[in-house]
Amino acid sequence: MPKRLSVKLILSLTILVAVIEAIFTYVNVTRQERQLLDNMVLGADQLSRSITSATWHAMLADQRRAAYEVMQTIATKQGSTGSGSSTRKAV
């Protein structure tokens, strides 16, 4: 009889530990995915603000060539075909 009780106890505790570990793993993975997505959004927002600021200051300083170069670089990096307002040459 003791062998059966010890086997049942060990099996029950093993299952309980496995279930708790699975729950913690799920929670940690979900949290890490959320943090990664938040960091990606933050990085994209910072890049967007930097590009906007650089273009704005170039236009304020009447440096059209620099502003168009920024726009052209962005269009090229995004795989643009070269058509559109961002590809015009500075006059």
What contacts 64, CB < 8 A, 6 or more positions away? Answer: 58, 90, 91
Residue 1: pLDDT band with limits 50, 70, 90: very low
Rounded average pLDDT over 7-26? 96
Q: Is the pLDDT at 91 greater than 50, yes or no?
A: no
Number of domains in the chain: 1
> Would you state the pLDDT for residue 2?
55
Q: Tell me the whole-structure pTM to 2 decimals.
A: 0.56
What contacts 71, CB < 8 A, 6 or more positions away? Answer: 55, 86, 87
> Would you state the pLDDT for residue 38?
96
Q: Which domain holds residue 13?
A: 2-87
Q: Is the pLDDT at 82 greater than 60, yes or no?
A: no
Residues 81, 10: Cα–Cα separation, whole Å: 65
